[in-house]
Amino acid sequence: MLWFKCGEILGGLALAVLCLAIVLGGYFFSVEHTPSENTSDLCSMAEASEDNIEKFRKENNMAFIVGYTGETGSALVKQLAKDKIFKKVVLIGRRQVKLPPEIGPEFEQKQVDFDNLDKYADVFKGIDVGFCCLGTTRGKSGTAGFVKVDFDYVLKSAELAKAGGCKQFHALSSQGADKDSRLLYTKTKGQMEEALKVIHFPRLSIYRPAVLMVNREESRPLESIARFFLVPIAKMFPTAITTPMDVMVKAMVNNVVSPSEKTVELLDNKAIHHISGISVKCNK
Ligand SMILES: NC(=O)c1ccc[n+]([C@@H]2O[C@H](COP(=O)([O-])OP(=O)(O)OC[C@H]3O[C@@H](n4cnc5c(N)ncnc54)[C@H](OP(=O)(O)O)[C@@H]3O)[C@@H](O)[C@H]2O)c1
C-alpha cells in the first residue's frame, strides 16, 4: 500500500518536472528565436571592430572604470589591457588591489570614499569615457545598502563624470530592468537607467545582460548552484538568459569604438551577444 502511494507521488513529481521543463524550454526557445530589429547593424559593428579599434586608438582617449574590483570590472580591465584602446585608464574604487602582471602602466588606481564622492571630483575630470560596473546584492548589503550602491553611487559617479567632460558613459544594468517593477532589483536598475538619461551625456550606453557566466572569486553558493544548472541551457539557448563574461566585456569594447549618432542606447542581452562578435554567428 505504502509502496503504491510512493509510486503515485513519484509519478506525479516526474510529471510536474516534465511539464516545468516543457514550459521553460518553450520560453527559452521563444526568447532565443525572437529576432532583434537591429541585428544587422549590431553584427556590422562586430565585423568592423578591428578597424574601429585601430581608429579609436589614434584618438588617445582616457577612460575610468568604477567597480573595477568586481567580476565584470576586472574582466573589463583585462580586455582593455589587451585591446589597448585608451592612452590612460583610471580605476576608481573603495580599495586598491594587486593588479595582474599583464596590466600596463597606463592603468592607475584611485581610492575614493563613495559616501563623499564630491570630494573626489578631480578624479573624474577630463576623462572621455566612463564605465560603471558597480553593484551589490540585497543579501550582502541589505535593502538600503543595495539602493545606495546600485542607484546613488552610480548616479553620483555619472554626475561627476558629466561635470568633468565625459563624452561616453557605459553603465551595467540588468535584463528585466523596469522602473515600475515590483521587485527591488529590477526596479532599482530601471530607476537608475532613467536617472542616467536625465544627465544628458553626449552618448549613454546602458547594458542589460542576463546572468553573467563567470567563476566568481567571492563565494556565493546559491549563484554557483544556479550557474551549474544554467550551463546546459546556455549551450542550447545562448542568448536567452546567460551572458558569458568574455562576451560582456568584448561587447563593451566593440561598442565604445563604434561611431554612433545615438545619445542613448539600450543594449539587451541579444544585442550584447551580437556586438561582441564572439558567441552568436551573425549570419545565422
Ligand atoms: N552577476 C550577474 O549575474 C549580473 C547579471 C546582470 C547584471 N548584473 C549587474 O552588473 C553589475 C556588475 O556585476 P558584477 O557581478 O560584476 O558585480 P561584483 O562582482 O559584485 O562587483 C561589484 C563592484 O561594485 C563595488 N562595490 C560593491 N559595493 C560597494 C560599496 N559599498 N562601495 C563601493 N563599491 C562597492 C565592488 O567593490 P569591492 O570589490 O570593493 O566590493 C565591485 O568593484 C552590477 O550592477 C550587477 O547588478 C550582474
Q: Is residue 10 part of a domain?
A: yes
Where residue 169 sits, what CATH number does that domain have? Answer: 3.40.50.720
Q: Is residue 174 part of a domain?
A: yes
Measured CA to CA, the distance from residue 121 to residue 157 in angstroms comes to 9
The closest residue, in CA terms, to atom 34 on ligand 1 is 94
pLDDT tens-digit series, residues 74-98:
999 999 999 999 999 999 999 999 9
Q: Is the CB of 110 under 6 A from ligand 1?
A: no
Measured CA to CA, the distance from residue 222 to residue 99 in angstroms comes to 28
Helix, strand, coil shares, percent, the chain, to 5: 55, 15, 30
The answer on 218 and 164 residing in a single domain is yes
pLDDT tens-digit series, residues 11-50:
888 888 888 888 888 878 887 877 777 888 899 999 999 9
Residue 267 pLDDT more than 90?
yes
Domain holding 185, by residue range, is 39-276
| Residue 224 phi, psi dihedral angles, 5° rounding | -65, -40
Q: Is residue 245 part of a domain?
A: yes
| pLDDT number for residue 196 | 98
If you measure from the C-alpha of residue 68 to the centroid of ligand 1, how many angstroms do you get, rounded to a whole number?
9
Q: Return the higher-pLDDT residue of 222 and 187.
A: 187
| Residue 153 phi, psi dihedral angles, 5° rounding | -65, -35
The answer on 202 and 133 residing in a single domain is yes
Q: Is the CB of 64 under 6 A from ligand 1?
A: no
The answer on 17 and 63 residing in a single domain is no
Q: Is residue 272 part of a domain?
A: yes
Q: Report the percent of the chain where pLDDT is more than 90.
A: 74
pLDDT tens-digit series, residues 224-237:
888 888 999 989 99
Region at 123 (left for phi over 0; alpha for psi -120 to 50; beta for the rest)? alpha
The answer on 44 and 1 residing in a single domain is no
Nearest Cα to Cα of residue 280 among 234, 229, 249: 234
Q: Which residues are catalytically annotated?
A: 185, 189
| pLDDT number for residue 30 | 81
Measured CA to CA, the distance from residue 182 to residue 210 in angstroms comes to 19
Number of H helices, E strands in the chain: 10, 9
Residues 6+ positions from 216 with CB-CB distance below 8 Å: 71, 223, 224
Q: Is residue 281 part of a domain?
A: no
The answer on 70 and 10 residing in a single domain is no
pLDDT tens-digit series, residues 102-152:
999 999 999 999 999 999 999 999 999 999 999 999 999 999 999 999 999
Query: How far, in Å, are 8, 123, 181 from residue 168 at the CA level?
Result: 60, 16, 27
The answer on 221 and 133 residing in a single domain is yes
| pLDDT number for residue 58 | 97
Nearest Cα to Cα of residue 205 among 37, 18, 42, 14: 42
Q: Is residue 190 part of a domain?
A: yes
Contacts 24+ apart (CB under 8 A), 181-186: 184/138, 184/143, 184/146, 184/147, 185/138, 185/146
The answer on 128 and 253 residing in a single domain is yes
Q: 3-state class of 192 per DSSP?
A: helix
If you measure from the C-alpha of residue 44 to the centroid of ligand 1, how many angstroms do you get, rounded to a whole number?
30
The answer on 159 and 182 residing in a single domain is yes
Neighbouring-strand partners of residue 170:
131, 205
Q: Which grid coordinates are listed for 283?
A: 549570419
The answer on 72 and 13 residing in a single domain is no
| pLDDT number for residue 246 | 96
Q: Is the CB of 196 under 6 A from ligand 1?
A: no
Measured CA to CA, the distance from residue 259 to residue 69 in angstroms comes to 28
The answer on 48 and 20 residing in a single domain is no
Residue 55 pLDDT more than 70?
yes
| pLDDT number for residue 211 | 93
Q: Is residue 159 part of a domain?
A: yes
Q: Give 251's pLDDT tier (boundaries 50, 70, 90).
A: very high
Q: Is the CB of 138 under 6 A from ligand 1?
A: no
Greatest CA separation found in the chain?
Answer: 79
Q: Is the CB of 135 under 6 A from ligand 1?
A: yes
Q: Is residue 284 part of a domain?
A: no
Q: Report the percent of the chain where pLDDT is more than 70.
A: 97
The answer on 6 and 75 residing in a single domain is no
Measured CA to CA, the distance from residue 154 to residue 164 in angstroms comes to 15
Q: Give 1's pLDDT tier (boundaries 50, 70, 90).
A: low
For ligand 1, mutation pick of 172, 229, 242 (most atoms within 8 Å of CB): 172
- Total domains, the chain: 2
pLDDT tens-digit series, residues 150-201:
999 999 999 999 999 999 999 999 999 999 999 999 999 999 999 999 999 9
| pLDDT number for residue 17 | 83
| pLDDT number for residue 72 | 98
Nearest Cα to Cα of residue 81 among 58, 59, 65, 97: 65
Q: Mean of the per-residue pLDDT values for the chain? A: 92
If you measure from the C-alpha of residue 134 to the centroid of ligand 1, how many angstroms do you get, rounded to a whole number?
5
The closest residue, in CA terms, to atom 18 on ligand 1 is 70
The answer on 83 and 20 residing in a single domain is no
Q: Is the CB of 72 under 6 A from ligand 1?
A: yes
